[in-house]
Structure 1
Amino acid sequence: MDLTENQGGYSPTDSYLASYFFDKKPTLWMSSYERRTKETESVSTFKEVGGERYLNKSIFILVSENTFSLAEKFAYGLKHFNKARIIGQTSAGAAHAIDFMEVNENYLIQLPISRNIHPVTKIDWEGTGVIPNIITSNNEALKTAHLKALNEQIESLKKQTIVGPILKRYEKVKTEINNR
């Protein structure tokens, strides 16, 4: 999934999309602490989704310094549930919801009003961003993810009794040719 230019969005888009990568049993996705009310609201994955779930498969999420807010929340959430690997650049680090307050007729200030709490890490990505598992440039992120996925497929095939010997022979011939 390419979130490199994604500036965010609105909840519950993140928890709904994440639901495709969890089984039907709702899982605590993220909590949010509201500074003004001092209340914590928790959001879980959805029991029902409109389609087939994508379980036990590799997920790669591309992020960049231009990935913000809800897009970061989605990437951070899946990364720390060990559902996805993040590839690219560290994201913007915009985890806290903000509100504008009027100082006077000429000035507004921007204040954080809530923060996210991931159930595994107990923190969020404010100021630090979502740190990729594999750091690379924007230009190389998609290629890097593609190669990683292909390598996983090759490793899986090597374990199969019919394909494994063919791949071993292929690697041997390839090495012989490269050594010439």
Structure 2
Amino acid sequence: MFLYFLCLSAAAQHPAFTAAEKDSVVERVAELLEQNYVFPDKAKDMGNYIRSQYQRKAYDQVNSYQHFAQAMSSDLQKAHRDGHLNLKNDPGLVKMLKSWKSASEPGPEVLREHLRKAERSNFGFTKVERLPGNIGYINFTQFFPVSEQARQTVAAAMAFVANTDAVVLDMRYNGGGHPEMVQLVMSYFFDVKPIHYNSIYDRPRNTTKEYHTLAEVDGERMPKTDLYVLTSSNTFSAAKELTYNLQSLKRATIVGETTAGGAHPVQPFIVNDQLVLDIPVARSINAITQTNWEGTGVLPDVKVEADKALLKAQELALNELLLSSTDAQDRTPLEWELQYVKSELQPVQLDKKVQSKYAGRYGERIVRVQGNELYYEQKGKAERKLIPITDTIFRIEGIPNLRVEMVKDEKGNVKKLLELREGGGFNEFARSH
């Protein structure tokens, strides 16, 4: 078993070390790369480069393991760019790795600690909710190993959104994890019949493992539910795999930013008692494209800044739901929410002249200008800010099911105010001052 990530161990120490130790480290790093790195030719290039740097005395002035690890990591990246490849000074991690059953399989104490941390972080699931318009939203930040507890957490999250009309998976800040968790999450959005979506070739073992969607999952599947995946430049490793898989199978619309480019699962190797080298030992081979996202990242179907990706996905989902809906009762709340989402994506700014025209008394309602904002007062209630949705329609801060519309006459003068209700209908107030 190889890992997409490793938990951080105790703080590293920074002892000085000798020229002989530097020579030993350079040779050990070069050998580990040549024996294990997923691309043998690139491994040789990197090994030759750090050897040549050592011969050029590039590391002579580096006098601590910490700085040596940083300098060599930088040189390795110069020889071949790979975001997963990293040399680090971490004696605590070395000690942990020595307790593993094998070079790629953690021991029971490590597994117990991983499970404890996974449970405390709810297996990466930070938020599951139902958004207006009956859109499900799931935000999770890491793909933990698939334990029984993790399986139950996934099932609970999927059950919460099972009856929604569209689902948004938020991968914007997901740091990756295990391919088996990718497999589990993906399977909820496909039919029972397994689909081959990816293979992973492991160079040290010279094996290829195929991944298919699962024939069995706990709870309901959502094979026909509209699916959207949010991405950012921070979407990493296994999160990118899930995104790439769903995109290549045309099962989801990807919304956000291009992800980073690393596509290779990583295994840690002990260099000496101070240093650990994270080596990408395997590569994903997508069943559809026969390649992966290494070096390019996953390109979104709809490109938008990460902080607007959720709103954009909501807009896309609401438009799709409106296209498929013929019932006026179903369309009304969708149109209500879509109007709000569009205004958030492209905020409306009203100048002072327009605001001053709206200020006044409308029966039992008062509109005032304060600073650069309009405020709304209902009789006997506190003032609330009016936030423009269009140049004549406003939402009332803190009251999501009520809006205000300014109605003008043919000369552009405001003659009345309407309080619009979410389910339809309105109250009318003629302008009295």
For Structure 1 versus Structure 2, the TM-score category normalised by the shorter chain is 0.7 to 0.9
Match of 1:27 among 195, 199, 214: 195
1:44 counterpart = 2:212: yes
* Structure 2 stretches lacking a partner, 5+ long: 1-168, 336-406, 413-433
Match of 1:86 among 226, 249, 254: 254
In the other structure, the counterpart of 2:415 is none
Aligned residues: 165
Partners in 2 of 1:124 and 1:7 — Cα distance? 18
* Structure 1 stretches lacking a partner, 5+ long: 171-176
CA displacement at 1:101 relative to structure 2: 4.0
Partners in 2 of 1:99 and 1:36 — Cα distance? 10
Moved more, 8-17 or 103-112: 103-112
Secondary structure, aligned partner of 1:74: helix
Q: Normalized against structure 1, the TM-score is what? A: 0.83
* 1:31 counterpart letter in structure 2: S
Q: Conserved in 1, the CA contact under 8 Å of 2:197 and 2:288?
A: no
CA displacement at 1:139 relative to structure 2: 1.5
Secondary structure, aligned partner of 2:179: coil
CA displacement at 1:92 relative to structure 2: 1.5
CA displacement at 1:104 relative to structure 2: 5.8
Q: Conserved in 2, the CA contact under 8 Å of 1:95 and 1:125?
A: yes
* 2:172 counterpart letter in structure 1: T
1:114 counterpart = 2:282: yes
RMSD: 2.3
1:140 counterpart = 2:295: no
Secondary structure, aligned partner of 2:234: coil
- 5 Å-filtered alignment, 1:30-179, equals 30-102=198-270, 108-157=276-325, 160=326, 163=328
CA displacement at 1:109 relative to structure 2: 4.1
Identical pairs, percent = 36
* 1:29 counterpart letter in structure 2: Y
Partners in 2 of 1:109 and 1:19 — Cα distance? 33
Secondary structure, aligned partner of 2:242: helix
Q: Conserved in 2, the CA contact under 8 Å of 1:15 and 1:29?
A: no
- Who wins on radius of gyration, i.e. which is larger? 2
Secondary structure, aligned partner of 2:283: strand
Partners in 1 of 2:234 and 2:256 — Cα distance? 11
CA displacement at 1:15 relative to structure 2: 0.7
Q: Conserved in 1, the CA contact under 8 Å of 2:247 and 2:254?
A: yes
Larger relative contact order (Cα-Cα within 8 Å, sequence gap ≥ 6): 1
Partners in 2 of 1:106 and 1:50 — Cα distance? 44
Partners in 1 of 2:222 and 2:187 — Cα distance? 9
Partners in 1 of 2:296 and 2:173 — Cα distance? 18
Secondary structure, aligned partner of 1:60: strand
Partners in 1 of 2:235 and 2:243 — Cα distance? 10
